[in-house]
Structure 1
């Protein structure tokens, strides 16, 4: 029961859990034309639609976030909202260009996060190397104490934990990027070449990592 409450107890956690269920069902449905496959595909699509509608309420907090920290990772939300309104004929315009713009913005934001994470990994590795050098220097000068050694070990442990978190972030964003490019119009890299089962698998991996990282952050805070 406690686990279930943790998964659906907050909007952020619930969104990530719904996303995970959405992609698991997409993977299970695959390209099946059987009744079971069709039903799983319908449920997966409805879960995706549910997340889209809930994201309509994210504009105000995301706008505040953008003012504080820049454009952020979800600049595609307004584009998605316009595409959603056009699909439902609330706005009298073609939803295609807006949906494409949303995908492109998502792909660009994912690439930005990947490069940012790789840069942070490099900086963390340099910091670890510097700490190890300091430890060796202290040992050579015969000034190392048990307290200092423990302190350095603790710092290195924290850096290694941050490095593992960043590697997970890279995998998460890469799997999402695979899907984002696959859903672009045919002719760009691997767009349109992967099956529904493959995109379901990629989405499942990224969603599981998102959920794991979110709860790890909340547990440590």
Structure 2
């Protein structure tokens, strides 16, 4: 029990870990905010309010996320350390989209809290722009992850081939195989999590754009909850590994 409590404290000690917990709470409540045979209307309204408040809190915490993103983009530069120009281009485009997302997100936040007075038409346009940048960011990041996953899968296949022809010792090959399998599992989870995020992001677009506006609210809640739980699992694994070392 004490170990679990300590692990949870380690999880929420960082902004990233805390956001993952809040994400699960937000979207789980969103699932429960749809009235049905087991959830009464009054309780559904309470879950809706809870989900809305947590979502607003997450948006508020994002107000200070732009500086780390800008510093990372400056360090990344033109991606000269990447293996090829296409990966470098993907990286640069991702950084540009991420940087542009934050001022748009701030405008939406200011408008939601009536600090910036916008009519409904303008507010709706900024919300759409916000969703577009969010969707592009997730798509570009997923593309980078998929390319990296493919390259590592090829490297793992080559390792197994070298072991078969005896170019490496069995002990070394076995250790490398275990590390490769562990990495592949975690990377597979990353691909699944980001795929869920892409489905979620595109669903926030207006109707007529891919599947925008076509997914029911409770289904969006399920998608967001699953993504959040996968993110928590990966973060917990990372914490445990860091403690071992």
- Which residue in 1 is equivalent to 2:21? 17
Report Cα offsets for 1:32-63 as digits up to 9, x if no partner: 67000000000000000011111112222222
Alignment of 1:46-195 (within 5 A): 46-69=53-76, 70=92, 71=95, 74-75=98-99, 76-93=101-118, 94-138=122-166, 148-195=169-216
Which consecutive residues of structure 1, in runs of 5 or more, have no partner in the other structure? none
Equivalent residues of 1:83, 1:99 under 8 A apart: yes
Equivalent residues of 2:35, 2:41 under 8 A apart: no
Q: How far, CA to CA, are the matches of 1:9 and 1:73 in structure 2?
A: 28
Which consecutive residues of structure 2, in runs of 5 or more, have no partner in the other structure? 77-91
In the superposition, the TM-score normalised over structure 1's length comes to: 0.88
Deviation at 1:186, TM superposition (A): 0.8
Equivalent residues of 1:83, 1:95 under 8 A apart: yes
Deviation at 1:30, TM superposition (A): 2.2
Q: How far, CA to CA, are the matches of 2:214 and 2:161 in structure 1?
A: 49
Q: How far, CA to CA, are the matches of 2:50 and 2:207 in structure 1?
A: 26
Return structure 1 stretches of 4+ with deviation > 6 angstroms. Answer: none
Equivalent residues of 1:30, 1:195 under 8 A apart: no
Deviation at 1:192, TM superposition (A): 1.3
In the superposition, the TM-score normalised over structure 2's length comes to: 0.80
Relative to structure 1, the CA distance from residue 136 to residue 168 in structure 2 (aligned partners, 3 Å threshold; closer, same or farther) is same
Structure 1 residues 122-131 or 34-43, which shifts more?
122-131
Task: Quote the RMSD (CA, aligned, Å).
Answer: 2.0
Report Cα offsets for 1:58-117 as digits up to 9, x if no partner: 222222122123517844222111111123332344332222112111111111122222
Equivalent residues of 1:100, 1:184 under 8 A apart: yes
Equivalent residues of 2:11, 2:235 under 8 A apart: no
Equivalent residues of 1:65, 1:72 under 8 A apart: no
